[in-house]
Each structure stands twice: as structure tokens, then as C-alpha cells.
């Protein structure tokens, strides 16, 4: 069986910055594998493209440029927000106001965004709405553990059920 649309793929990987010699970002070896439904938009499109046609037992190694992963770093996504935006029930939410804390926010159209607090000032807060991996080239190595046909329910729901997947 080969990796193609509507197959459930189980794999282990090591993710590094930019190259095989880059800083380790994440690794699944020795932990639970990544299990996903191929071809339904759950993964970075270039990640899926690189795995297309691989078989159980195959290994892989490939790089993905930041522009094809989580995007290039956008300095315009770093914005200053008035501190009074963090007032909840009449009180400043000091538990939220910590440098490095990622908090959900809404833009002017009501879309939810995740922002990381970069700096806290007397009257405002500097927040970075770039994805944490924006601007980072990725390098994956790993091996395909298992490939199976997705069930009709998994295809309908758009995700894997059972071990490694969604539990209803």
C-alpha cells in the first residue's frame, strides 16, 4: 500500500531547523507516532507532497522552506495593543500578562488569532501574531510505520479515529 489520498499514515519523524545539522525542534521516536489522514489538509501541503507514494518501511528526509511551511516572518504581525484590552470584568488580567505567554485574541473581523506577548509596557503590550515557526526552514527525517485505508467515518469526519487519532 502507498501513501495517497484517504490513507491513514503512521510515521515517526525528527524535525530540525533548516538541515540535518540544525537545532532539534521535535521528535517522535521513543514516543507516540504521528498518525494522520493523508490528503485532507491536516498537514503542511509540502510535507504531504514529499510523502506521496511512499510505502510502509520507507524512510524519508526532506527540507521545506519557511514560505511553504508556516510562512515567512511578517514584522507587520507584531502589534502594540492597549493594556486596557486585557481588562476582564473590570480587572486587569495580570495572569495573562506574561512575556512569552500565548493567548487567544480576536481581530476587528472577529477572527481568532493566537498571539505571543513580546513586551509589556506601562500603557500597552507588544504582541507577535506570527506563527511560532514563521520564518523557520524545516528539515524532516523519519520512517513510515504503517499505512491503511481510512474508514468511511474517518473520511467523512476528516480525521483519524482510534489509536493515535481522535476519540469520540
pLDDT tens-digit readout, 49-108? 999 999 999 999 999 999 999 999 999 999 999 999 888 899 988 888 999 999 998 888
My answer on whether 116 and 147 are in the same domain is: no
The answer to whether 35 and 165 have CB atoms below 8 angstroms apart is: yes
Domain span at 124: 75-128
The answer to whether 168 and 161 have CB atoms below 8 angstroms apart is: yes
The answer to whether 69 and 44 have CB atoms below 8 angstroms apart is: yes
Q: What residues are paired with 106 via a beta bridge?
A: 112
Looking up residue 92, the CATH number of its domain turns out to be 2.40.10.330
Q: How confident is the model at residue 111, as a pLDDT?
A: 87
Enter the DSSP assignment of 18.
S
Q: Number of folded domains in the chain? A: 2
My answer on whether 32 and 105 are in the same domain is: no
Mean pLDDT (whole number) for 32-58:
96
> Is residue 18, in this structure, part of any structural domain at all?
yes
Query: Strand pairing of 102-106 and 91-92?
Result: unpaired
The answer to whether 160 and 168 have CB atoms below 8 angstroms apart is: no
The answer to whether 102 and 115 have CB atoms below 8 angstroms apart is: yes
Model pTM? Answer: 0.82
Work out the mean pLDDT of the chain and round it to a whole number: 93
Q: How confident is the model at residue 34 (pLDDT cuts 50, 70, 90)?
A: very high
Q: How confident is the model at residue 94, as a pLDDT?
A: 86
Q: How confident is the model at residue 50, as a pLDDT?
A: 98
> Is residue 165, in this structure, part of any structural domain at all?
no
Residue-wise pLDDT for 115-129, tens only, equals 999 999 999 999 999
Query: Which of left, alpha, beta for 77 (phi over 0: left; psi -120 to 50: alpha)?
Result: alpha
> Is residue 167, in this structure, part of any structural domain at all?
no
Amino acid at each position: 500500500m502507498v501513501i495517497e489520498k484517504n490513507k491513514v499514515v503512521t510515521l515517526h519523524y525528527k524535525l530540525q531547523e533548516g538541515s540535518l545539522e540544525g537545532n532539534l525542534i521535535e521528535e517522535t521516536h521513543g514516543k507516540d507516532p504521528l498518525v494522520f489522514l493523508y490528503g485532507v489538509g491536516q498537514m503542511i501541503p509540502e510535507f504531504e507532497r514529499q510523502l506521496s507514494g511512499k510505502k510502509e518501511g520507507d524512510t524519508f528526509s526532506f527540507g521545506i522552506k519557511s514560505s511553504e511551511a508556516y510562512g515567512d516572518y511578517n514584522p507587520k504581525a507584531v502589534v502594540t495593543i492597549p493594556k486596557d484590552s486585557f481588562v476582564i470584568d473590570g480587572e486587569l488580567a495580570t495572569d495573562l500578562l506574561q512575556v512569552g505567554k500565548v493567548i487567544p485574541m480576536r481581530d476587528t473581523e472577529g477572527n481568532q488569532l493566537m498571539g505571543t506577548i513580546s513586551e509589556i509596557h506601562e500603557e500597552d503590550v507588544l504582541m507577535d501574531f506570527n506563527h511560532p515557526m514563521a520564518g523557520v526552514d524545516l528539515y524532516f527525517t523519519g520512517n513510515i510505520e504503517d499505512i491503511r485505508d481510512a474508514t468511511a467515518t474517518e473520511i467523512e469526519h476528516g480525521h483519524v479515529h482510534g489509536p493515535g487519532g481522535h476519540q469520540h
